Amino acid sequence: MKGKKKTIGRRILIWIRNFVLFLFLSSLLAVVALRFIPVYYTPLMFIRVYEQKKAGKEAKIDHHWVPISEINNSLVLAVCSSEDNRFMTHKGFDFEQIDKAREEAEKGKRVRGASTISQQTAKNVFLWPGKTYVRKGFEAYFTVLIELIWSKERIMEVYLNSIEMGDGIYGAEAVALAHFGKHAVKLSRNDSALIAATLPNPRQRNSAKPSKYMLTRQAQILSLMNKIGVIDIGHK
């Protein structure tokens, strides 16, 4: 009887080992493949379609993949200024911003996010929305992988193509056409700062119909863009 229990226990451990190995190899393969393949769909897109259908709305995925060379560099500068001004130098995590966010929370201030563009890209492409420890753990794992395997240019390219930028609108090209009537490469600094001002709540903040808050935020982002100067990605 005791020997039978040991055999069952050994089989369970082997199964767990094989399952973990499968998850690791499949996730590694996915990250390597998406270093080169355009990301046309993400889990979030399908989640939003389900939410739209459940609410009785028309399902909508407005998404047009374009290479980063066809996205105006002002948008790169705007999102870095707004979301992650250490993007070019950190290794996926901005521990200084994490510490600041924790200190502010301890003082009773409004809780703010400290996710980098790399973390947001990992979440957008491979995972689902949510704040559970399990999801955040997977996010950290995929963030490490993409920082190791992708270049900063590729991370930014995928981010600007996959991020939610409106209700059913994903990526720079889609929002540029839908809200500004132009291609992403033609976006102005003002356009780019306004798009960045919608983040991280693009379904509540519409860059086509900016609120007073958004215009104030746009001005702040433009000021930050002037301070940072230039981020040379995708435009050699």
**Sequence letter at residue 56:** G
pLDDT band at 130 (very low <50, low <70, confident <90, very high): confident
Query: In terms of pLDDT, which residue wins out, 130 or 143?
Result: 143
pLDDT at 183 over 80: yes
pLDDT score recorded for residue 81: 94
Percent of the chain with pLDDT over 70: 91
Q: What is the distance between the alpha carbons of residues 205 and 194, in angstroms, rounded to a whole number? A: 10
Q: Give this prediction's pTM.
A: 0.88
pLDDT score recorded for residue 101: 65
Query: In terms of pLDDT, which residue wins out, 74 or 100?
Result: 74
pLDDT score recorded for residue 108: 61
**Sequence letter at residue 211:** S
Which range is least confidently modeled, 113-117, 160-164, 174-178, 232-236? 232-236
pLDDT band at 22 (very low <50, low <70, confident <90, very high): confident
Residue 5, phi then psi, degrees to nearest 5? -65, -40
Query: Residues 42-70: pLDDT tens digits?
Result: 999 999 999 999 988 888 999 999 999 99
Domain 34-228 homologous superfamily, CATH: Biosynthetic peptidoglycan transglycosylase-like (1.10.3810.10)
Residue among 82, 100, 84 at smallest CA distance from 92: 84
Element (H, E) at 219: helix 212-228
